[in-house]
Amino acid sequence: MDLSKKSALVIGAGGLGGPALLTLAAGGVGRLVVIDDDVVETSNLNRQPLFGEADLGQPKAVLAAARLQQLFPAVQVTALNRRFDAGEAVELVSGADVLLDGSDNFPTKFLASDAALKAGKPLVHGGVLRTSLQILTVAPGFSGCVRCLFEAPPPAGQVPTCAEAGIVGALSGFAGGLMGAEALRLLAGERGSYAGRLFVFEARTGRGRLVLVRRRPGCPACAGTQPLEPSGPAGPVACATPAGAQP
Ligand SMILES: [Zn+2]
């Protein structure tokens, strides 16, 4: 299928966003927008394939866009070197056909879900922590959302940072690739493998499972009454869904 007229907005150019962006570009998506306010650090290099040692200290969004443009000249790539924030969230999401959330903190993950519902656009949500990954597609009007699943971001300090918890580098590549492939299915007009179904994969056992995510009665985001909240810098910086909130 020709996806050259389709577009995707990707939050985060790191361990999830990088592989997702590569998958989308290789799949022929015509326009990509990547938003990230971070710079490349040495600890990122085990799982962020768009960057190398020469890139340390430089902005991820700008580097990612340049690298993708070099690899896939036919794809139009826009870099936004800033945080995905409430002030422009709905406008940005509305301008794309699908949203992929590869961010590393919970306030942004909730904001991405809330903004996708308000814009009426599908969201592919992803997270990795230690040896497990989780992916959920939020299909507005059809499936439950991130707020249906977890209700609220965990309190600051309850969730370990990526540096504290550690991440299996290959696992984020797997997760990001799956997120990209899921987005390609959505852009091709399919419902998606993870719409309303949370995919959990545990690398230690090699086992995956799907958990149904229904719309939760009283979920303010699904009811359209949830105000958009700033995505940070307050709140925990984390790699994935909270350990205490496993479905
Ligand atoms: Zn909801």
pLDDT band at 240 (very low <50, low <70, confident <90, very high): very low
Ligand 1: distance of its center to the CA of 123 in Å?
Answer: 12
Q: Does some domain include residue 104?
A: yes
CB 85 within 8 A of CB 112: no
SS3 category, 221: helix
Mean predicted lDDT score pLDDT of the chain: 89
Does residue 101 have a pLDDT over 70?
yes
Q: Does some domain include residue 123?
A: yes
Short-list 14, 165, 169, 39, CA closest to 100: 14
Q: Does some domain include residue 1?
A: no
CB 29 within 8 A of CB 184: yes
- Global pTM? 0.91
Could you tell me the CATH number of the domain that includes residue 67? Answer: 3.40.50.720
**Residues 85, 105: Cα–Cα separation, whole Å:** 12
Q: Does some domain include residue 50?
A: yes
Q: Does some domain include residue 212?
A: yes
Ligand 1: distance of its center to the CA of 115 in Å?
Answer: 12
**Mean pLDDT along residues 140-146:** 92
Q: Does some domain include residue 2?
A: no
> Considering its fold, how many domains does the chain have in total?
1
pLDDT at 161: 66
**Mean pLDDT along residues 95-99:** 98
Q: Which residues contact 139 (CB under 8 A, 6 or more apart)?
A: 122, 191, 192, 195, 196
Ligand 1: distance of its center to the CA of 18 in Å?
Answer: 27
**Residues 195, 186: Cα–Cα separation, whole Å:** 10
Q: Does some domain include residue 95?
A: yes
**What are the two backbone dihedrals, phi and then psi, of residue 62, each rounded to the nearest 5 degrees?**
-65, -45
Domain that holds residue 22: 7-245
Beta bridge partners of 33: 9, 78
**Residues 178, 98: Cα–Cα separation, whole Å:** 15
Ligand 1: distance of its center to the CA of 205 in Å?
Answer: 31
